[in-house]
Structure 1
Amino acid sequence: MNNQQQSLQGILSIAALICLAVGWFNLFTPEINHLLSRKVFYILIGASFFIQAPMLTNKNFVYGMYAAAGICVIGAFLPESSNLAWVKTLGLLAGIILSLSNRNR
């Protein structure tokens, strides 16, 4: 199961990066670019963090990774005009930091 989880997590991460690149390079209409790079990207990253959480070797980071995943997904659904729209970026940064902190040295 662990190998399948890693594969799924990798696929989600690559799909998220593709969504981000599409938005940066304006490959579609402005509405589609915005949806992919500002909404779908964070949903996919949140899903990737959620799948990665139980695989963390430092069990102290598991709940933090779940929180980062939830913040990314919830933040993706907040309107851009909201004062809380920045929380999705906070979730992304927290997930990246937790993921990098978990790496073997």
Structure 2
Amino acid sequence: MRHNLQTAQGIISVLAIVCLAIGWFNIFSPEVNNILSRRVFYIIVGVSFILQAPLLVNKKLVYPMYAAAGLCIIGAFLPYESKIAGIKTLGLLAGVILSLSNRSNFRQ
């Protein structure tokens, strides 16, 4: 099961990068680029964090990882102009930090 989750997470991570790249390089119309890079990207990252949470070595980080995923996903559905739309970036940052701290713990 662990291998399946890691494989799914890898595929999802590649999809997230593709969404972000599409937005950066303006491949489609501005509306589609915004949806892919400002919404779909964060939803995919949130799903990736959800899949990663049970794999964390430090079990104290599991619920914070779920919280980071929630911030990404909820923030993706907020209007772009919303004052709290930045929670998706906060969730992304928190998830990356949790993921990196898990890697350093794993090596010990």
TM-score, normalised relative to structure 2: 0.96
1:40-55 aligned at under 5 Å gives the runs 40-55=40-55
Q: Residue 5 of structure 2 aligns to a residue in which SS?
A: helix
Report the Cα distance in structure 2 between the residues aligned to 1:44 and 1:27, rounded to whole angstroms. Answer: 19
Report the Cα distance in structure 1 between the residues aligned to 2:80 and 2:29, rounded to whole angstroms. Answer: 18
1:27 paired with 2:27, answer yes
1:1-40 aligned at under 5 Å gives the runs 1-40=1-40
TM-superposed deviation, 1:32:
0.5
Deviation per CA, 1:19-64, whole angstroms, max 9, x where unpaired?
Answer: 0000000000000000000000000000000000000000010000
Unaligned 5+ residue runs, structure 2? none
Unaligned 5+ residue runs, structure 1? none
Kindly indicate which of the two structures has a greater share of residues assigned to helix. 2
Identity of aligned residues (%): 64
TM-superposed deviation, 1:100:
0.2
Deviation per CA, 1:50-92, whole angstroms, max 9, x where unpaired?
Answer: 0000000000100000000011000000001111010000000
TM-superposed deviation, 1:95:
0.1
TM-score, normalised relative to structure 1: 0.98
RMSD: 0.5
Count of residue pairs brought into register by the alignment: 105
